[in-house]
Structure 1
Amino acid sequence: MCTVKEEVVNIWKSVLDMNDVENDKSFFDVGGSSIAAIQLINELKGIGVNIDIDRFYRDPTIDMILSSCVH
C-alpha cells in the first residue's frame, strides 16, 4: 500500500517523466510547464490531494504539496 507521499512522488515523476525527484526543487526548474502543472494538480485531486493552482505557482514543490495534505 502506498503512502500519500509515495503517491504524490509517483504522480510528480509520471507527469515530468523522470526517475528521481528532490522534494524542495521547483516543478518548473525541473522541466514542468503550465500544462503539466494542470495535469499534476488534476492527478493529485484523484488521490484526494487538493492544491490551489495559485498556491502551487507560488511554491511549486513536493514539500508544499505534502504540507497541504490533511489526513
Structure 2
Amino acid sequence: MSNIRVRVEAIWKDVLSVQDGQEDATFFELGGESISAVRLVSRIEDELDVLIDVGDIFEDDPTVADLIATVTTKADEAKAA
C-alpha cells in the first residue's frame, strides 16, 4: 500500500502547505480548518477512490501518518466488501 502512503502524503502537503520540519504536526497544528478538511477528504476520494469522513479529521486531529493509516484501513475494508 505504499502508493496510498505516497499519494495521501502529497495531498496532505499540498492542502495544508506543509513546510520541511512539520512532518509530525497534526491537522490543527498545521492550521487546518473546515475547508481544508473538506479539500483533503474530496481529493482522497477523487484521487484514491477511498471514502473517509470529514468528522474523522476533526475528532482525531491526525498527523499525516494517522491519516495514511485511516485511508489504508478504509481502502482495505472497501476491497473486502
For this structure pair, what is the TM-score category when the shorter chain's length is used for normalisation?
0.7 to 0.9
CA distance in 2 between partners of 1:59 and 1:53 (Å): 10
Higher share of residues assigned helix? 2
Query: Are the equivalent residues in 1 in contact too, given 2:15–2:40 (CA < 8 A)?
Result: yes
Unaligned runs of 5+ residues in structure 2 are 77-81
* Shift in alpha-carbon separation, 1:25–1:66, aligned structure 2, 3 A: same
- TM-superposed deviation, 1:55: 1.5
CA distance in 1 between partners of 2:16 and 2:50 (Å): 18
Query: Are the equivalent residues in 1 in contact too, given 2:9–2:68 (CA < 8 A)?
Result: no
TM-score (norm 1): 0.76
| Count of aligned positions | 69
TM-score (norm 2): 0.69
Question: Which entry has the higher C-alpha Rg, 1 or 2?
Answer: 2
Aligned to 2:58: 57
> What's the C-alpha RMSD, in Å, of the aligned pairs?
1.9
- TM-superposed deviation, 1:48: 2.0
Query: Are the equivalent residues in 2 in contact too, given 1:16–1:32 (CA < 8 A)?
Result: yes
- TM-superposed deviation, 1:11: 0.4
**Amino acid aligned to 2:69:** S
Query: Are the equivalent residues in 1 in contact too, given 2:44–2:50 (CA < 8 A)?
Result: yes
CA distance in 1 between partners of 2:61 and 2:50 (Å): 14
SS of the residue 1:28 aligns to: coil
